[in-house]
Amino acid sequence: MFAEIIGATVEEIAIVPAVSTAAGIVAANLPSAQQGENIVVAGNEFTSNYFPWLLLRERGYEVRVVAPAGDGVLAAEFGQTADGGTRLIAVSAVHSATGYRADLPALSRVASRSGAWFFVDACQAAGAVPLDVVRDGVDFLATASHKFLLGSRGMGYLYVRRGLLDRLQPLVPGWKAARNPAESFYGPGMDLSPTASKLDASLAWFPALAEEAGLGIFGRFGITALLDRNAMLARRLEEALTAQGSAFRPFTEGHRSTIVSVPVTDTEAVVARFRQANVVASVRAGRIRLAVHFYNLEEEIDLVAELIGRG
C-alpha cells in the first residue's frame, strides 16, 4: 500500500523505524569525499533530515546549508548552491513547521545536473498530498508512519530507486534483510535480499499491526479520494481563516499542502481556547500549526478558524 501511495514498486521499499534511520543508511553508503565534494541541504530542515548529513563532515564532505527565502526554499536557490561536486541534495516534500510544499521535479533537475542523489523527507506529505517518485525524479524517499499514514511510532519506510539498489549496503542487517527471512535465523552464510528489503530494520511487531489497520483505510476508500478530500479541507480552512480576518496568507497553488501555519499575536491564548474546545494543534516557529486530514469535518474546520479569529 505504501508503494502505491508514492508511485513505487514493492521491491523498492524498505521498512525502517524513522526518517533519521533512512537518512543514516543513505549517508553511510556515501564513500569518503574527494576534494570539492559536498552535500546541499536547507537550513530549516527537520533534524532527522539534517543531522545525518552534518555528520558527513567527518568523512570530508562540505555541507552547504541553503537559507530559506521566507517560508520555503526555492529550487533556484539550491541550483545556485549545488555544483559538479554535489553528491546529495536533501529536502522535505512538505516543511513540518510552515507547510511549504517543495517543487520536487525542479529540485530533482538540480540534483541531476550535479550528478547528485536526491533524498526526500516525506513525513508531512505521504498520505496527505499526491506523491509520485517516478514523475518527481526522486532517488530516495523516507517517511515515518505516525503522521498522515495513520500508523504509530516505530514504523516507517525508505524508497530506493531501483537503479541504485546495487550501490547500497545495509547498515543494520538482521534476518529480515535476507533473501528468505524465515530461513535465515542463523549463520554461517549471508544471502541478502536483491530488493530494498535488504535494508529492512528489525520489525516493530505491535506498531506493524497498527500499520496494517491504518494503511487499510487508504485501501478501503481509495488513495485518490482521500487526497482530494484533504485538498478540499485545506482550501476550506484557508478560506475560513481569510474570512475571519486572520493574518494567514496562503502559498501559491503549487506550494500548498495540508499544513496551515497561522501567525497570531498570542499563541498561548489561542492554544488555551483550543484546549477548551478539544482542538489539537501545535505551535511551531512562533505560529499555530494546523494539519487537516480526511477524517476532519467541515464544521471542525470552521470552528478552528473562529477560535483563531477571536483575537
Summarised one tens digit per residue, pLDDT across range 263-278 is 888 999 999 999 999 9
2-218 maps to which CATH number? 3.40.640.10
Predicted confidence at residue 247, as pLDDT, reads 80
Whole-prediction pTM value? 0.94
> Predicted confidence band at 19 (pLDDT cuts at 50, 70, 90)?
very high
Residues 99-111, mean pLDDT to the nearest whole number:
95
SS3 of residue 141 by DSSP: strand
CA torsion, ordered 123, 127, 133, 135, to nearest 10 deg: -130
Give the residue extent of every domain in the chain: 2-218, 222-309
Is residue 23 a contact partner of residue 48, using CB atoms and an 8 Å limit? Answer: yes
> Predicted confidence band at 70 (pLDDT cuts at 50, 70, 90)?
low
Residues 6+ apart with CB under 8 A from 123: 19, 46, 48, 92, 96, 142, 143, 144, 147
Residues 283-310, mean pLDDT to the nearest whole number:
92
Name the nearest CA neighbour of 88 among 102, 103, 78.
78
- Tell the burial category of 203 from Cβ atoms under 10 Å away from its Cβ (0-12, 13-18, 19+): middle
For domain 222-309, the CATH architecture is Alpha-Beta Complex (3.90)
Q: Residue 1 above 60 pLDDT?
A: yes
> Predicted confidence band at 85 (pLDDT cuts at 50, 70, 90)?
very high
Distance CA 279, CA 45 (A): 27
* Residue that wins the pLDDT comparison between 130 and 310: 130
Q: Residue 202 above 70 pLDDT?
A: yes
* Residue that wins the pLDDT comparison between 251 and 293: 293
Q: Residue 216 above 70 pLDDT?
A: yes
Name the nearest CA neighbour of 243 among 162, 148, 308, 293.
308
Predicted confidence at residue 190, as pLDDT, reads 93
> Predicted confidence band at 311 (pLDDT cuts at 50, 70, 90)?
low
Residues 61-69, mean pLDDT to the nearest whole number:
90
Q: Residue 225 above 80 pLDDT?
A: yes
Residues 142-169, mean pLDDT to the nearest whole number:
95
> Predicted confidence band at 11 (pLDDT cuts at 50, 70, 90)?
very high
Q: Cell digits for 282?
A: 501545535
Q: Residue 289 above 90 pLDDT?
A: yes
Distance CA 109, CA 36 (A): 21
Is residue 127 a contact partner of residue 148, using CB atoms and an 8 Å limit? Answer: yes
